Structure 1
Amino acid sequence: MSKVKAAVFASGAGSNFQSIMESSNLPCEISLLVCDRPGASVIEKADKLGVPTYVFNPKEYGSKQEFEGTLVSKLQDLNVSWIFLAGYMRIVGPTLLNAFEGKIVNIHPSLLPDFPGKDAIGQAYKAGVKKTGVTVHYIDAGIDTGPIIAQESVEVLENDTEETLKKRIQQVEHQLYPKVIQQIVK
Structure 2
Amino acid sequence: MSCRIVVLISGSGSNLQALIDQLDTPADIVGVIANRPQAYGLQRAAAAGIANECLDHQDYTSREAFDQALMARIDAYQPDLVVLAGFMRILTPELVSHYRGRMLNIHPSLLPRYKGLHTHQRALEAGDVEHGATIHFVTQELDGGPLVVQGRVSVLTNDNPETLAARVQLVEHQLYPLAVNWFAQGRLRFDAEGARLDEELIGPDGLRMEDHLQLNEA
TM-score normalised to the size of structure 1? Answer: 0.93
Deviates more, 1:109-118 or 1:26-35: 26-35
1:42-81 aligned at under 5 Å gives the runs 42-81=41-80
**Where has structure 1 moved over 6 Å in runs of 4 or more?**
none
Maintained 8 Å contact 1:26/1:178: no
Gaps of 5+ in 1: none
Structure 1 residues 24 and 34: alpha-carbon distance in aligned structure 2, compared to 1, 3 A threshold: closer
- CA distance in 2 between partners of 1:109 and 1:26 (Å): 27
- The one-letter code matched in structure 2 to 1:152 is G
Residue 137 of structure 1 corresponds to 136
Alignment RMSD: 1.4
Gaps of 5+ in 2: 187-218
- The one-letter code matched in structure 2 to 1:125 is L
- The one-letter code matched in structure 2 to 1:157 is L
Maintained 8 Å contact 2:133/2:151: yes
Maintained 8 Å contact 1:26/1:181: no
- The one-letter code matched in structure 2 to 1:166 is A
TM-score normalised to the size of structure 2? Answer: 0.80
Identity %: 35
In the alignment, structure 1 residue 17 sits paired with structure 2 residue 23: no
- CA distance in 1 between partners of 2:143 and 2:62 (Å): 22
**Higher RCO by CA contacts (8 Å cutoff, separation 6 or greater):** 1
Number of residue pairs the alignment of both structures matches:
185
- CA distance in 2 between partners of 1:131 and 1:14 (Å): 25
Residue 97 of structure 1 corresponds to 96
- CA distance in 1 between partners of 2:121 and 2:158 (Å): 15
Give 1:183 deviation, angstroms.
Answer: 1.2
Q: Secondary structure at the match of 2:4?
A: strand
Structure 1 residues 140 and 36: alpha-carbon distance in aligned structure 2, compared to 1, 3 A threshold: same
